[in-house]
Amino acid sequence: MSQDTTAEGILERLSDLQNNPQETLVPYERFAASGELYYFTPGGFLYRRDPGTEETGGYFCGYLTDKVWRYRTTARQNRREAA
């Protein structure tokens, strides 16, 4: 199995709540990084969407801890409610 260093970097950056506190996540929202498409499923599971995969499917790349996932998704809701 080949290593996805881009996915590792994404997970590392998002797990650093002290230095990257403002980034938020939305389940199934696709984003590009290093020419690849990625998305998170509920619970903080990161997948890379490879050509030919279904809407939800692809290569499992890793996951965020529950604490980080809740922070990244709740922070977005809190900012939306404050507006």
**Is there a domain that residue 45 lies in?**
yes
Sign of CA dihedral 15, 19, 24, 29: negative
Per the structure block, which two tokens stand in for 1?
């199995």
Q: Would residue 46 count as lying in a domain?
A: yes
47 within domain boundaries: yes
Give the DSSP per-residue string, 13-70: HHH-TTT-TT----TT--EEETTEEEEEETTTEEEEE-TT--SS-SEEEEE--HHHHH
Q: Would you tell me how many other CB atoms lie within 10 Å of the CB of residue 61? A: 19
**pLDDT string in tens for the chain (83-residue length):** 568 999 999 999 999 999 988 889 999 999 999 999 999 999 999 999 877 666 666 899 999 999 999 999 976 565 555 55
For residue 61, being part of any structural domain is answered with yes
In a domain, residue 82? The reply is: no
Counted domains in the chain: 1
Q: For residue 55, what are the domain limits?
A: 5-73
